[in-house]
Amino acid sequence: MSPRLPVPGGPPRLVVAAPASGHGKTTVATGLIAALRARGLRVSPHKVGPDYIDPGYHALAAGRPARNLDAWMTSPEVIAPLFLHGAADADIAVVEGVMGLFDGVTGGADGIEDFASTAHVARLLDAPVLLVVDAAAQARSVAALVHGFATFDPAVRIGGVVLNRVGSDRHEQILRDALAGLGVPVLGAIRREDKVSTPSRHLGLVPVAERATEAVDAVAAMGDLVARTCDLEAICAMAATAPRMSATPWDPHLALGPTPRGRLGRRPRIAIAGGPAFTFSYAEHVELLVAAGADVVTIDPLRDESLPTGTTAFVVGGGFPEIHAAALSENERLRKDVADLAASGGVVVAECAGLLYLARELDAVPMCGVLDVSAVMTPRLTLGYREAVAAADSVLCRAGTRLRGHEFHRTVCEPAAGADGTRPAWTVRPSTGGSGVAEGHTTGNVHASYLHLHWAGRPRLARRIVEAARRVDPRRLARP
């Protein structure tokens, strides 16, 4: 296949949304991506919000990276550029929403009541919405539901409906008849007996990287389901009604701005944790590190026994280390390598799962011991958007830097931030307001926190990491 050029103004696009969580939008979005790809289309997958797991299934279905579109962690102004960056050379783009269509930051933000919601992103992309409705317990009332969603915000256009969990031919006809006069076409009807699902656990779906062949089979089944039950031609026609976009595609080099005078030099080697235990990352992070001048190498802490030769920085993001704690602990050589890197002045930046990996232990199982804290699982889920202020200068940012992030975990670390001889990394508070609390740990060239960040919202975080890594002489590190 010859290379395809970016589509001026962006490709045809649609947003898959639902009245609430649990209506089946992940199944429809993933299946639609797979079904369109099977027809020879190059599909660009996207996800509204901070989710890491759904994009894994999208990427598997599309055969290309999935991109998150999060107006809270980045900004509304960067949503269209990020979309165009991810959708370059695509024939069509599918964006899966989050929660209910109009569910955003509680109480609104920046004067927008549904800030960071699926509806907000649909408006920013000027994209039609494919509404997935769980009709299992509905008959004619489905018309009132769809009518309400179609008229609630005139700036959000419902281009079609997919009826999910339909019970019978008779049930489907009742639903279609009820919707016939609304001007919103029914573009699919999925039967209740169609059993296509992905396994879940304490923090949502199981990531693709942990499922191997099962994930491939699940995506194939979703693609077959949507191909059999939905009108793909009509859905593509709906996507084609999206107008041209005037935004300029996001570019990591331009986002970083001019390189400060005298900052050019060798390309520092930065290792990034990957594999089944560390699946939570955004594609833009690696792109920014490379654009800032780094040589980036991905390693799997479950299997790789050492950091790559010449590594002066280690970035370890989110995931499920608690599921793989025993295997991570058994890899003693890598744990020692990471501890030696940190002790020798190397740069270590960790968030959430990365924080647990740097701890002395996780559920009584030895970890890297970079931080003198103990992490344990709890029944309580900590979840939500956060506003954060950097509590101290660090390799990541200067004290006083304000940014937005997201927390998503069921663990706690003891002692708390700052009580282990480190400095707190952040003062954080929920997006709904309230008093700030100290969170995270920073010491030397180590920065570790529960806070997930999207660097496209503050690209120079990547440059600061690269510059710190460049200042570390790999010949002086204690590692053999």
Q: Which element (helix H / strand E) includes 164?
A: strand 158-166
User: Three-state DSSP class for 428?
Assistant: strand
- If pLDDT is split at 50, 70 and 90, which confidence band does 203 have? very low
What is the fold, at CATH topology level, of the domain defined by 13-239?
Rossmann fold (3.40.50)
CA dist 29 and 43 (Å) reads 11
236 catalytic per annotation: no
Q: Where are the domains of the chain?
A: 13-239, 252-476
- Fold: same for 13-239 and 252-476: yes
Across 193-202, 220-229, 282-291, 406-415, least confident range: 193-202
List 230, 236, 352, 368, catalytic entry: 352
- Ranges 92-96, 199-203, 416-420, 470-474: which has the least confidence: 199-203
Interval 230-249 mean pLDDT: 97
Write down the pLDDT at residue 201: 38
Which of 229, 130, 230 has its CA nearest to residue 184?
130
* pLDDT score, position 238: 98
How many whole angstroms separate alpha carbon 441 and alpha carbon 446?
A: 8
Mean pLDDT, the chain, whole residue set: 91
Per 3-state DSSP, the chain is made up of helix, strand and coil in percentages (nearest 5) of: 30, 25, 45
* pLDDT tens-place string over residues 377-392: 998 888 899 999 999 9
pLDDT digits 0-9 by tens, 347-374: 999 999 999 999 999 999 999 999 999 9
Alpha-carbon distances, residue 233 vs 92, 117, 203, 239, 240 (angstroms): 12, 28, 36, 10, 11
Find residue 163's DSSP bridge partners. Answer: 133, 189
Q: 95 near 69, Cβ under 8 Å?
A: yes
204, pLDDT greater than 50? no
What phi and psi values does residue 408 have, to the nearest 5 degrees?
-160, 90
| Total residue count of the chain as it appears in this document | 480
What band does 212 get if pLDDT is binned at 50, 70 and 90?
low
Tokens coding 279: 């699946």
CATH 1.20.120.530 for domain 252-476, yes or no, is no
- The pLDDT of 8-12, averaged and rounded, is 88
- Centre a 10 Å sphere on the Cβ of residue 44 and count the other Cβ atoms it contains: 28
pLDDT tens track for 74-113: 999 999 999 999 999 999 999 999 999 999 998 778 889 9
Q: How confident is the model at residue 267 (pLDDT cuts 50, 70, 90)?
A: very high
Q: Are 78 and 94 in contact (CB under 8 A)?
A: no
Gap between the Cα atoms of 82 and 170, Å rounded: 44
Place of tokens 């999910």: 164
* CA–CA distance, 323 with 154 (Å, rounded to integer): 45
